[in-house]
Amino acid sequence: MRSSHWMDLLSQTGQSAEDFDLKKLTLTSVFQMQLHRFPEKVSEIVTTAQKQMQIEKSLQNVEGVWKSMNLVLKAYKGTPENPRGYTLLPNEEMRTTLDDNVMELQNMGSSQYALALLDSIKNWEKKLSTVSEVFDAWQVLQRKWVYLESIFLDSDDIRLQLPEEAKKFERSHKLFVGIMKKTHDSPGVLGACCQDGRLDEFKALTAEFDRIQKSLTEYLDTKRSAFPRFYMISDEELLSILGTSDPTGVQAHMRKMYDNCKSLEFRRAESVLGMYSDENEYLKFHSAQKAEGSVEDWMRQVEEQMRDTLQRISKVAIFNYASKERVPWLQEYVGMVAIVGTQIWWTWGVKMLFAWWLRGTRMQ
């Protein structure tokens, strides 16, 4: 029973507060109040006092939990002693506690006994709502930073080809890394998430990363327009090709760009000599193609060399079809050429058979 409850009790029983000194309240003075005459009112006030105490204890527990709650981070790339930055872990325990406490505060606020503590309850609801909103925005921002960081900091070629975007990213990158370093040094959730302007800061950085990513996408679209088979691979895979000066970087993605083409044959990473299928069938190009300049340019020339070589070999195979035994002829050429040659000669044979049959029919 707090003083407010005693004053309410005196008021409800029609007694004057001037006759009682609550600071010197004794059992005798309680008996003098003759509270046995008002059992229902006394019971109601006592129940209110008990319920308010329960709510107050629950609120103190929430406050204690969040004053000691820390964010969990880990070093990003580099070494633990000298990382390139820090990233937030999912912090699943914190999110679970957050959801539970938000629900608990809502239940407190809806109680008829919470009127005296309503301001404190609303204050904590606001704090935890801010934590949830900021943490979600933080995760979105971090995903964009991780994606762009691996592009602009791991590839000198990309920075050279997109100098303006590289400068913009460098500025935003320093801000983000600084925030993560401060958070690592002072990981308290309330301090990290409830700073004035923190949510607006994260939204501004996210918007800047979005603009950089849009410019990057437009850049990739120009590469895909120059060599449409780049549409068959993801942005990350295309960036891995563009971000290296080694022509053999295309090898890992050949199957996606060409049906059943496992790899190209390079000579000292300077020129392309031919290509291999998944079955290790080898097609040697009619002319070696130099792997120089922009990857989309020399890959387009490699594709032209593929067509030219297959056309030349197909002409020779079709010409030699009737002059050799079938099995030796099949073994001499790659499968696709053998299939094309066989289909052409089969079609010619069927056509000649029909022509012979028609001539015979007319003669009759």
Here the tokens at position 138 are 């933080």
Average pLDDT over residues 168-182: 95
Domain membership of residue 13 (yes or no) is yes
Residues 50 and 88 in one domain: no
> Which of residues 31 and 240 earns the better pLDDT score?
240
- pLDDT > 70: what percent of the chain? 85
Domain membership of residue 148 (yes or no) is yes
* Residues 285, 273 contacting (CB under 8 angstroms): yes
Of 68, 89, 104, the residue at which a domain comes to its end is 68
Phi-psi region of 77 (alpha: psi -120 to 50; beta: other; left: phi over 0): left
Of 193, 225, 257, the residue at which a domain comes to its end is 225
Q: Write out the residue range of the structural domain in which residue 278 sits.
A: 227-356
Residue 280 belongs to domain with CATH number: 3.20.180.20
d(CA 124, CA 11): 32
Here the tokens at position 243 are 């971000």
Say which residue the tokens 């029919």 belong to: 361
Domain membership of residue 172 (yes or no) is yes
Q: How many domains does the chain fold into?
A: 3
pLDDT of residue 48: 63
Residues 258 and 287 in one domain: yes
Residues 198 and 250 in one domain: no
Domain membership of residue 364 (yes or no) is no
Contacts of 5 (CB under 8 A, 6+ apart): 45, 46, 48, 49
Residue 169 belongs to domain with CATH number: 1.20.140.100
d(CA 347, CA 364): 26
Residues 291 and 152 in one domain: no
Domain membership of residue 362 (yes or no) is no
Residues 82 and 215 in one domain: yes
Domain membership of residue 363 (yes or no) is no
Residues 95 and 176 in one domain: yes
pLDDT at 173 over 80: yes
Here the tokens at position 104 are 């608990």
Model confidence band, residue 233 (pLDDT cutoffs 50, 70, 90): very high
* Residues 71, 189 contacting (CB under 8 angstroms): yes
- Per-residue pLDDT tens over the stretch 91-141: 999 999 999 999 999 888 887 777 778 889 899 999 999 999 999 999 999
Of 204, 225, 246, the residue at which a domain comes to its end is 225
